Amino acid sequence: MLKGKNVILAPLKREYIDKFLEWLNDPEITQHLMGYRPLTKDMEERWYASLKERENDIIFAILINQSQLIGNCSIMEIMWKDRMGTCGIFIGDKEEQGKGYGTEAMNLLLNYGFNTLNLNRLDLKVNNFNLRAIKCYQKLGFIEEGRMRQSCYRNGKYHDQIIMSILRSEWKGMNP
């Protein structure tokens, strides 16, 4: 369990599946997620069961007020030899979006990735229309290193995905 000022990153629990299912079937939430598709309870149950065998993926529940689930964040596709991984986050509770919880959760995740897992690089992809997320990532020190042109199709249009990354040295410089 990782504790911040307002946010806790905690292990996932089976009891969270119904809430994740609700959020991940909400088009307003999923428009910002990569690889979206409608999910069933069985699909979420299988995903949860598979977590125990995934050595290169670490996923946390994001909690506020000690126990209120508001989303999740992860470091996926960890390449241990190269000391890098890919970050992901979503705040599914719409009432808690825009309050800084995502930024705090990502900062806890970066601290865990760099200081506990000893990674050197963390990256992510973000849709170019997800301005709130881009601002969050820039605030944390991520820099744009490329674009995947027209790689996302939402609401009848193609959009770019921005590839962003942060190195341990850059993050440490901002968090002495």
101 is written with which tokens? 């919880």
- Of 36, 137, 153, 158, the active-site residue reads 137
Contact residues for 94 (Cβ-Cβ < 8 A; gap 6+) = 28, 29
- Asked if 64 and 70 count as a contact pair (C-beta separation under 8 A), the reply is yes
Q: Is residue 137 flagged as an active site residue?
A: yes
Contact residues for 6 (Cβ-Cβ < 8 A; gap 6+) = 64, 100, 101, 104
**AA identity, residue 143:** I
Residues in the chain: 176
- Asked if 62 and 71 count as a contact pair (C-beta separation under 8 A), the reply is yes
- Give me the active site residues, please: 137
